[in-house]
Structures are given as C-alpha cells and as structure tokens.
Structure 1
Amino acid sequence: MDSNAFVYTTYLRTTPDELWRALTDPALTRRYWGVAFETDWTAGAPMVWDEGGRSTSDPGQVVLAAEPGRLLSYTWHTFTPEWAEAVGIGEEVYGRLAKERRSKVTFAIEPAGDIVKLTVVHDDLEPDGMIRDLIGEGWPALLSSLKSLLETGEELPEPPR
C-alpha cells in the first residue's frame, strides 16, 4: 500500500456473504452507488462499468482478486468523455482526471463476531491528485449508503452537491 492510499474502515451488521453480494450484485450496487458492474468476478476478468446510462470498458479495467466473502480488488475505471457527461463532470475536471494514472480499490471483509469489518483501500493514487480528493468524500458517503442498505433495507438518499 502506498502512502497516498485512502483507507476507510467501517463495521456492518451483516454477514460476509451478504456484504460480498452487495459489492458484486448489479441490482444492489446500482441502489447505493448508481453503478453496475459487468464481470464474472474472477481474477483477470475484464470489468465494464455502467453508470448514468453509459458503459465504460477498457482493457485496463480488470478484477485483480476475488475471494467471495473475504476479498475483492479491481482497477479503477477509465475516465472517458462519455462518463464525464453522464455524471455531470465538466471538461476541465475531466481533463485533469484523465491525466492521472489508473488506481485500484480493495475491499477486505473480516468477520467480527456478529458483525463484519470492511476495510476499503484505494491506492496507486497520484500524489496531490484530483482523484484522491474526490474519493476522500465519495467513499465515506458510498459506504454509509451501503451500510444503511444492508442494515435497514434502504440506501441513503444521494447527498446534495
């Protein structure tokens, strides 16, 4: 893990299998994240990100590790003009994001008695990069919505921008 990594840990009242399902099932990821992943969740498999009605595919978007109920890791998506338009990112911000190297995210799932510890590590980030700033706000909001969905059956409303 590099020193610019973003690390976030949370505890959820769920099971490792249910958390895995929430991280990989398109019907669930769409609810709390607004993204669906097309992949077979095996190491090396390509990933297509479907967000805002736009699909993003690239040979560099791949599953790095997949151990159901334990560990999930993949490369972060490719920034395209179509993606930027779909999510409402302006040209200047898109241009900065597109220049940054591809990062990766890892979800470590650990049973902790009657709950589950989830640690998210997003690394390979550019020092002082824009992605680092965006995920610093994005991951806590997204993981709070995931937690709410698993514990109450309802995801959180999208925070105001």
Structure 2
Amino acid sequence: MSDTTQVYRVWIKATPERIWAAITDPEWNSRYAYQSPGYYELHKGGSFRQAATAEMKEFGKAGGFEVPDTIVDGEVLEADPPRRLVQTWRMLMDPTTAAEPFTTLTYEIEEAKMQPGVYKLTVTHELTGAPATAAMVAGTEDSGAGGGWAWILSDLKTLVETGKNLVE
C-alpha cells in the first residue's frame, strides 16, 4: 500500500444490489463503520456528502473543535449500478485534510469466481497530494481516525451478511 494509492478488498456473500445499497443508501451506510449517513446523486456530476452525527459533534466539542455538518464531500464521476462507482472524496472534519485536494475513490463489485453467490468488493482510493488523508483512511496509529477503510469494509461485510454491525 502506498501513500498515493490504497487498495482494499473484501468478499461478501450477498447480491451485488445489496452491496451497492450498503454503499449508496443512507438507510444502509449509516448503520456501519462510523455510522454517518452518506447521500449520493447517482449520476455523472452528482453530489456526494456525508453528514456528521450528533455523537461526532459531541466528540469534537469535548475535544475543543467544531465538527462541520458535512464531514466528507465529493462529486460522482461514474455510476454503473450495481457494479461500479467512481467519485471524488474530501475529508472536511479536520483542517489538514480539508486543505488537501479532492482524492478519487472507486468501488467495484465483481462476482467471485471461487464461489457462486459471493461478490468481491474492491475499493481503490487514489490519494495523490493528500498525505494526511492517506494516513487517515489507512487507519494508521498516528492518524487518530480509527480503522480507516479496513474497518469500514469489515463492518459493511458484517452488516450485509448478518444484519448487524460489528458493535451490535
């Protein structure tokens, strides 16, 4: 894994439509990982935004900083449901990451050749010129952000397969 491109894969026993919904539907994407809803306009040029939760805002206040209402934003570059989503992505929670350029995030859902009914979800995050964002999404110890993409995808898989997230 480099600082400029990070690739994560997880195999999920579910339909591609269910995996797609877990990524793009706020009813689903607010139930795993950092549990903040993400809203997509699923067409080229459409907007993406991820909203702060009340818990995030309280955490920030206790730490002496303000968490904005929108914690991640971007633009949809390509949407091919339920197989491929490409978007720009910028973390706004932290002034350092907010000052960095937009990065590019690609989700690809493909049938796993090894087992019928299992699909491979690959997330590729291109992070050129965004070292603070790269550290944060990698879930490195010094980022203070938790588990990054590895945590998010593990929790997504658990939720889609079991109906419960990792902390339930």
Q: TM-score range by the shorter chain?
A: 0.7 to 0.9
Q: Which residue of 2 aligns with 1:100?
A: 100
TM-score (norm 1): 0.78
Unaligned runs of 5+ residues in structure 1 are 85-93
Q: Which residue of 1 aligns with 2:159?
A: 149
CA RMSD in angstroms comes to 2.3
Residue 88 of structure 1 corresponds to none
Paired amino acid for 2:84: L
Identity of aligned residues (%): 31
TM (normalized to structure 2)? 0.75
- Amino acid corresponding to residue 156 of structure 1 in structure 2: L
- Structure 1 residues 56, 3: CA separation in 2 closer, same or farther (over 3 Å shift)? closer
1:130 matched residue in structure 2:
132
Trace 1:1-161 onto structure 2 (pairs within 5 A).
4-33=4-33, 34-53=35-54, 55-56=69-70, 61-79=74-92, 84=93, 94-112=94-112, 113-126=116-129, 129-137=131-139, 138-157=148-167
Q: What is the CA–CA distance in structure 1 between the aligned matches of 2:44 and 2:76, rounded to whole Å?
A: 5
Aligned residues: 142
Deviations 1:28-50 (A, max 9, x none): 10000322223331111122321
In structure 2, runs of 5+ residues without a counterpart are: 55-67, 140-147
Distance 1:148 1:57, change over 3 A: closer
State the alpha-carbon separation in 1 of the partners of residues 151 and 40 from structure 2. Answer: 24
d(CA) in 2 for partners of 1:125 and 1:52?
28
Q: 1:141 to 1:30 in 2, by over 3 A?
A: same
Q: What do residues 102-136 of structure 1 show as CA deviations (whole Å, max 9, x unaligned)?
A: 11211010012320011100003326x11111111
The superposition leaves residues 36-75 of structure 1 with CA deviations (integer Å, 9 ceiling, x where unpaired) of 22333111112232122553299x7211111111001111
